[in-house]
Amino acid sequence: MSRFLVDRDGETHVRLLEGMELTKGQTVLAAAGLVLLFLVPDITRFTGLSFTAIHRGILFGLAAVGLNLLLRHTELVSFGHAAFFGVGAYGAAVLASHFDVSSGLLLLLGGVLAATTIAVLVGYFVAGYLDIYFALLTLAFNQVLYAFVLQSSYFNYSDGLSVRPDGLNPPTLFGLEWTSAGYDLILYYFTVVVLVVSLLVMWKLINSPFGRALDAIGQNRTRARFVGIPVEKYVWVAFVISGIYGGLAGGLFALLQLHVSPDPTLYAFVSGEILFMAILGGFGTLVGPVIGGVVLVYLLVQAPFYVEYYNALTGLTLVAVVLFLPEGILGSIPKIGTGLARRRRDPGLLREDVTAIGSSLRQSVTRAVTTVRIIVFGVN
Amino acid sequence: MTTGPIAGTDLDGIDRRTLLKTVGGSALAVALAGCTELLQGEDDSLEDADVPDEPIESGLQTFTEGAPAVLGVQAQYGAETAVRRINENGGIAGREMNLDVVEEGGAYLVNYQQFVDEGKDVTFGPISSSGHAEMVPEIEEQGVVNVSTDGTVTTLYEEDFPDVTYSFRFQNHDVMEALAAVNQAVEVLGADEIDTYAGINPGYAFGQDEMELFSQGIEQLTGAEQVHSGFPDLGTDDMSTHITEINGEEPDVVFSSCWGGDATLLLEQGHANGMFDNIELLVGTVLYGSANDMSADLVDGPIYSGSRNFYWGEPSIDRWSPAAELVDEVQSEYGVVPTAHFMSGYGAVTAWATAAEKAVGLLGRWPEQEEIATILENHGFFTPAGYHTIGPDHQGYSNAHFGELTWSDERDAAALADVNVFSAESVSPPPGETSGDWIGSW
């Protein structure tokens, strides 16, 4: 076998990095995904899809990838990850509007540093807590930041700050001033590169001894402590890394939107959306949160142009994911693929599916009738 | 105090052609001004123009849901009414108009971009100041004219974007209504009688800005001292702590820019806690915006409110009947009394439509975006609310109204009595000067 091809369990795998070996199918999917990402500007030009909405979705997806480090591995649910996204965005906006920093990369760096600082502070206070206490603490810190920004003249209250150092034009990228279309395109490709690198780093991280330790912490903190893992410290570090991803996404969001205000970046609902993105795309996977980000942002910002009751659409999607795709869009693909293959081989299974759905509905109705009877008559 | 441009016109005492000339020379301008009886065939100059047949596509973003829908839906009704009148009267230079409406909440930029991608000829909205500020550079880049319905933040065109081409707003800006409130307070109580004042304003940029402008204005005119300034959250369910503070301080004037549910809550809790026994006057810039949500007992007391740009009793309906006709039309169509935000939507569409038709008349063909933008600068036009102008700074200017909040049995809604009309130039700085500097120079 060559350096890039290895044999595992009798099957040829493609080795991308040390320890990163993909099956042929996975390699094709990854390559297709990468090509798709690079073709997005052209695809949107010919299909009428919104380029900006997809770009925004990828950025929120990147924040969801960061959140997923906590969710998937330490099994901690953060309700406050918009804090880092928002601080990343505001870090860039403050440098642009108060200090006239014109380099996009410096603005991004400023945003990431600000988010990292906040993540270090918040992480220190929340790392020792579990379950609902952890969730509520992260939410509380998120709300404190939101309220602080909303009431502060330095951050221009709810009207927010512009990310246009000279008032009208976007920041420079790679030392050059771009036209509006050029800026959007370069920023998009830069985002794609950042996303791919971030995914590779995350993959490395979760497949390292540190990642395994996080898994152990998620499964049982007490046992993890017994085997010598400094649980709080590791959770703290994971929290900070997660915050850095949020800050990176927020900084890029500021460069894309060129205006940052509290509601779309720091509000607690945004935290909920980031969490939903991870679940929607499949929090058991590495790339799922990115898919979830694109799908949810598209539903939130583009659906109003096509569907009158677009909020119901988001709700129905959530219901459908919880009921039918509990492992998310990407996480469910293998199961759906296997199921479809089995039904192709044995069409008789389709009849069983219909019977199963029918009996499930019958059971639901029976349960509902019983509940109503208990409520009305007090006894079953 | 009634000053400023001709706000009303005696329809019985003026011939058709003169009125047509006054409102801009076209049947469309007359229709949008609300003079429906004068509509037939006056557009000879437009008939030969080289204008495409396909309808004009336009998009409005406004709040259609949640708490801000109190304003947003009125703006939607206004824009729809204007578009309906345009189409009923043969369109703009013969072109009918389509209007798509989309919820603005948090997606201002994306909405504008989507409208542009869809090939809209013009875009209207948003209501939100921050949304408008976010959109302006994008509008300048994309070059598709946008007329904001509200987006009233004072600094927008004064300091943040003093030199723009395609971005306009129909609505009076904050300084106009805050200073109208100052003038109203001085007129009712007298400058010498105002020693202290307080404020309860929504806890976000709009409320902060309005309070700051009111403070500057009233301190400049009366030397009064501020004794309390509270900023309850938008959509709060309790203002009692602020009301208790005010009851303790007993200021002469309380200023509020609360709107929607916050405005009715302020009045409810103010009455329940005896606030109106402890103050001389409450002046609220947009309390009247909640006219459809108020009850008769809430408007009892020394409460004065502004209607930014539209109140059916002003211009007086015996001199200018279109306002009353519009109220009847809107009540029968939508079951509401149109307020200032109705006029935001109506006026934004009207500003653009009359400018576009004026451009066709001048050019003999359908104008480019830049040409419409040029016409919109210094553009004057009538609506049922009276006369409006878009200044060279792209701001909307019209008379500001202030009157005592009262109850109309006829309309079954809150109304204004003893309305004062403040001309635009008496409550806002001249283009090129900032509001702060201007107030400081009084």
Q: Is the pLDDT of residue A265 over 60?
A: yes
Cis peptide before A347 (omega within 30 of 0): no
Q: Is the pLDDT of residue B356 over 50?
A: yes
Neighbours of A156 (CB within 10 A): 22
- Give chain B positions within 8 Å (CB) of A261: 130, 134
Q: What angle do CA A266, A268, A269 make, to 5 degrees?
A: 105
- Give chain A positions within 8 Å (CB) of B205: 156-159
Q: Is the pLDDT of residue B2 over 60?
A: no
Kindly indicate the confidence band of residue B19, based on its pLDDT and cuts at 50, 70 and 90: low
Chain B residue whose CA is closest to A260: B134
User: Which of A156, A180, A264 is nearest residue B205 as measured by Cβ atoms?
Assistant: A156
- Alpha helices of B42-91 — where are they, by DSSP H? 44-47, 69-88
- Contact B38/B206 with Cβ under 8 angstroms? no
Q: What is the pLDDT of residue B25?
A: 60
Is some CB atom of chain A closer than 8 A to the CB atom of B124?
no
Chain-centroid distance, C-alpha A45: 25
Q: Do A305 and B102 touch (CB under 8 A)?
A: yes
Alpha carbons within 13 A on the beta-carbon side of A39: 9
Tell me the mean pLDDT in the region B286-304: 90
Q: Do A157 and B208 touch (CB under 8 A)?
A: yes
Tell me the mean pLDDT in the region B268-292: 92
B88-127 burial code (b ≥16 CB/10 A, e <16): ebbbbbbbebebebbbbbbbbbbbbbbbbbeebbbbbbbb
Looking at the complex, report in whole angstroms how far the Cα of residue B77 sits from the nearest Cα belonging to chain A: 17
For testing contact with chain A, the best of B99, B104, B109 (most A CBs within 10 A): B109
User: Which of B100, B106, B204 is nearest residue A150 as measured by Cβ atoms?
Assistant: B204
Is some CB atom of chain B closer than 8 A to the CB atom of A265?
no
- Contact A300/A269 with Cβ under 8 angstroms? no
Chain A residue whose CA is closest to B134: A259
Among the ranges A12-21, A22-31, B388-397, which has the highest mean pLDDT value? B388-397
Q: Do B231 and A151 touch (CB under 8 A)?
A: yes
Q: Is the pLDDT of residue A23 over 90?
A: no
Q: Do B110 and A304 touch (CB under 8 A)?
A: no
Chain A residue whose CA is closest to B118: A48
Q: What is the pTM of this model?
A: 0.84
- Give chain A positions within 8 Å (CB) of B113: 50, 52
The mean predicted confidence, pLDDT, of chain A is 87
Tell me the mean pLDDT in the region B207-219: 94
Is some CB atom of chain A closer than 8 A to the CB atom of B133?
yes
The residue written with tokens 């990095």 in the block is: A17
Q: Do A162 and B133 touch (CB under 8 A)?
A: yes
Q: What is the pLDDT of residue A347?
A: 79
Q: What angle do CA A263, A269, A270 make, to 5 degrees?
A: 70
Q: Report residue A112 as tokens.
A: 């990431």
The residue written with tokens 């106009």 in the block is: B176
* CA atoms of B207 and B231, how far apart (whole Å): 7
Is some CB atom of chain A closer than 8 A to the CB atom of B165?
no
- Contact A82/A267 with Cβ under 8 angstroms? yes
Tell me the mean pLDDT in the region B328-352: 93
pLDDT in tens, A106-154: 999 999 999 999 999 999 998 888 888 988 999 999 999 999 998 888 9
Kindly indicate the confidence band of residue B365, based on its pLDDT and cuts at 50, 70 and 90: very high
* CA atoms of B305 and B184, how far apart (whole Å): 9
Pick from B209, B266, B260: nearest CA to B242 = B266
Q: Do B134 and A261 touch (CB under 8 A)?
A: yes
Is some CB atom of chain A closer than 8 A to the CB atom of B113?
yes
* CA atoms of B302 and B282, how far apart (whole Å): 6
Is some CB atom of chain B closer than 8 A to the CB atom of A156?
yes
- Contact A296/A56 with Cβ under 8 angstroms? no
Q: Do A159 and B133 touch (CB under 8 A)?
A: yes
Q: What is the pLDDT of residue A159?
A: 85
Chain-centroid distance, C-alpha B245: 32
User: Which of A53, A150, A158 is nearest residue B110 as measured by Cβ atoms?
Assistant: A53
Q: Do B106 and A159 touch (CB under 8 A)?
A: no
- Contact B317/B338 with Cβ under 8 angstroms? no
- Give chain A positions within 8 Å (CB) of B153: 159
Is some CB atom of chain A closer than 8 A to the CB atom of B159?
no
Is some CB atom of chain B closer than 8 A to the CB atom of A185?
no
* CA atoms of B260 and A291, how far apart (whole Å): 38
Pick from A159, A145, A138, A3: nearest CA to A66 = A138
* CA atoms of B31 and B82, how far apart (whole Å): 9
* CA atoms of A35 and A37, how far apart (whole Å): 5
* CA atoms of A175 and B85, how far apart (whole Å): 52
- Contact B264/B217 with Cβ under 8 angstroms? no
- Which residues have C-beta within 8 Å of that of residue B167, sequence separation ≥ 6? B135, B136, B139, B140, B145, B146, B148, B161, B394
Decide: helix, strand or coil at residue B305.
Answer: strand
* CA atoms of B8 and B1, how far apart (whole Å): 15
* CA atoms of A137 and B344, how far apart (whole Å): 43
Q: Is the pLDDT of residue B18 over 70?
A: no
- The bridge status of strand A11-17 relative to strand A20-22 is antiparallel
User: Which of A168, A259, A302 is nearest residue B133 as measured by Cβ atoms?
Assistant: A259
State the maximum Cα–Cα separation within chain A, in Å, rounded to a whole number: 75
Q: Which stretch of DSSP H or E encloses residue B58? A: strand B56-62
Q: How far is CA A95 from CA A98, A99, A100, A163, in A?
A: 6, 5, 6, 8
Q: What is the pLDDT of residue A300?
A: 86
Is some CB atom of chain A closer than 8 A to the CB atom of B114?
yes
Q: Report residue A246 as tokens.
A: 């949020």
Looking at the complex, report in whole angstroms how far the Cα of residue A153 sits from the nearest Cα belonging to chain B: 9
Q: Which residue has the higher pLDDT, A243 or B309?
A: A243
Q: How far is CA B25 from CA A59, B322, B359, in A?
A: 52, 18, 12
Q: Is the pLDDT of residue B90 over 50?
A: yes
Looking at the complex, report in whole angstroms how far the Cα of residue A65 sits from the nearest Cα belonging to chain B: 23
Q: Is the pLDDT of residue B287 over 80?
A: yes
Looking at the complex, report in whole angstroms how far the Cα of residue B381 sits from the nearest Cα belonging to chain A: 30
Tell me the mean pLDDT in the region B323-349: 91
* CA atoms of A309 and A208, how far apart (whole Å): 45
Kindly indicate the confidence band of residue B9, based on its pLDDT and cuts at 50, 70 and 90: very low
Is some CB atom of chain B closer than 8 A to the CB atom of A52?
yes
Give me the amino acid identity at A3: R
Q: Do B153 and A258 touch (CB under 8 A)?
A: no
User: Which of A52, A157, A259 is nearest residue B113 as measured by Cβ atoms?
Assistant: A52
Q: What angle do CA B312, B317, B320 make, to 5 degrees?
A: 105
User: Which of A159, A167, A304 is nearest residue B205 as measured by Cβ atoms?
Assistant: A159
Q: Report residue A174 as tokens.
A: 């790679």
* CA atoms of A167 and A242, how far apart (whole Å): 32
Q: Do A167 and B130 touch (CB under 8 A)?
A: no
Is some CB atom of chain A closer than 8 A to the CB atom of B268?
no
- Contact B154/B131 with Cβ under 8 angstroms? no
**Could you tell me where the beta strands, DSSP code E, fall in B231-313?**
253-256, 281-284, 303-307
Q: Report residue A241 as tokens.
A: 């890394």
Looking at the complex, report in whole angstroms how far the Cα of residue A57 sits from the nearest Cα belonging to chain B: 12
Alpha carbons within 13 A on the beta-carbon side of B353: 40
Is some CB atom of chain A closer than 8 A to the CB atom of B206?
yes
Chain-centroid distance, C-alpha A55: 13
Pick from A111, A107, A110: nearest CA to A164 = A107
User: Which of A151, A158, A304 is nearest residue B130 as measured by Cβ atoms?
Assistant: A158
Is some CB atom of chain B closer than 8 A to the CB atom of A264?
yes
Looking at the complex, report in whole angstroms how far the Cα of residue A261 sits from the nearest Cα belonging to chain B: 7
Chain-centroid distance, C-alpha B325: 19
Bridge partners, residue A316, by sequence: none
Q: Do B106 and A263 touch (CB under 8 A)?
A: yes
